[in-house]
A and B are shown apart, each in its own frame.
Chain A
Amino acid sequence: MSYSGHILPPCRWQYCAIQPALPLWKQIIEEDHRRFIIPSNMASRKSSSKRQANKDKYSVLLPTYNERENLPLIVWLLVKYFGESGYDYEIIVIDDGSPDGTLQVAQQLQGIYGAHRVLLRPREKKLGLGTAYIHGIKHATGNFIIIMDADLSHHPKFIPEFIQKQKEGGFDVVSGTRYSGNGGVYGWDLRRKLISRGANFLTQVLLRPGASDLTGSFRLYKKEVLEQLVDRCVSKGYVFQMEMIVRARQLGYSIGEVPISFVDRVYGESKLGGNEIVSFLKGLLTLFATT
């Protein structure tokens, strides 16, 4: 990875104010590099052995696209629950050039909670969820990674439970599940429940994946495990989530589960949708034939 911020003369930043401004996402990348990446890399090299010895750190990846209303709330909740449980953490916001100004809101949040808690790793345009995770992982400094949606359908209150579960069983992956125990959903009509349960049953029969919720995307991974999995996964959309779990099993990783309640998004709209059923079936059959 090459950052041009390095080699440019320092006076460049004075020009910026006069010249037509760089797009915000680019400003943030360059500025962040100058201010934070270099010092934090140096700092972590010195203290990493100490940190690994006695302290785990959790990097939460929040991919966002038009989530200006949800982002402050999810960050607030994350800060609340991490604060109460006392684990070390960072929140990495990966915004794909949302036209609604999500990134400006994220900047404000960074101002409020500090640049070591809220990291901005924006990209120029909408490049999809899968690559957003890859992009986020590259910048994560934690030894565990938590993946969740930013639309409040995944509640941060479950994260301490995920962490507890992981510690209990030494799991490589801990997956939230809507389908077992006290897990469940809110705001779903009968049709949606039927489709969801039917699709899940079919998946269980065909793939026997050893996990009850394959399409959910609220999960905790050991960082190196996630890197391995992401390398191997080829699907797009939320078939990606299915593939991650199936491949995890294939590679012999252990999977723990925590029941979660999934509350439909209150603000904004879903970006997937469309031909969800068709793409689900295609993905399922592909996995069926190839794994």
Chain B
Amino acid sequence: MTKLLEWLLGVSVVVTAWGLLTFDLLDLKVPQVYREVVWPMPVYLLVVFGCYSIATVGYRVATFNDCEEAAQELQAQIKEAKLDLKKKGLKF
């Protein structure tokens, strides 16, 4: 199953559950209070997921390592390499 199909399956399960409850399609006599809670649920879920995404990406950007030392080490090694290669007869 492709990822797309997995997603479609997941979404249709959620939508079905939501429809059944909100419109009481199976005549389960779902109390009015529940139906009022369930009705805007998809929007809540989207908002929560959006916030989670923004928070996660924001946190990861803020904590993205800056490898200052790695860059310095590389610069030093480049110098060393150039000297050594020149000694070995490389013409740049």
Contact = CB atoms under 8 A, between A and B. Distances in A.
Given A152-B74, A263-B71, A184 B81 contact: no
Given A152-B74, A291-B3, A201 B65 contact: no
Nearest to B6: A208
Nearest to B3: A288
B55 to A, nearest CB: 11
A185 B3 contact: no
Interface residues of B, number: 29
Interface in A189-233: 190, 193-194, 196-198, 200-201, 205-208
B29 to A, nearest CB: 38
Interface of B: 2-4, 7, 53, 56-57, 60-61, 64-68, 70-71, 74-75, 77-78, 81-82, 84-85, 88-92
Which 3 pairs between the two chains have the least Cβ-Cβ distance? A184-B65, A261-B67, A261-B70
Interface of A: 68-69, 72-73, 76-77, 105, 108-109, 111-112, 152, 155, 179, 182-188, 190, 193-194, 196-198, 200-201, 205-208, 261-263, 266, 287-291
25 contacts: A72-B85, A72-B90, A108-B89, A109-B90, A111-B89, A112-B88, A152-B74, A155-B74, A184-B64, A184-B65, A184-B66, A185-B64, A185-B65, A185-B66, A185-B67, A190-B61, A194-B61, A197-B60, A201-B57, A208-B3, A261-B70, A266-B74, A266-B75, A290-B2, A291-B3
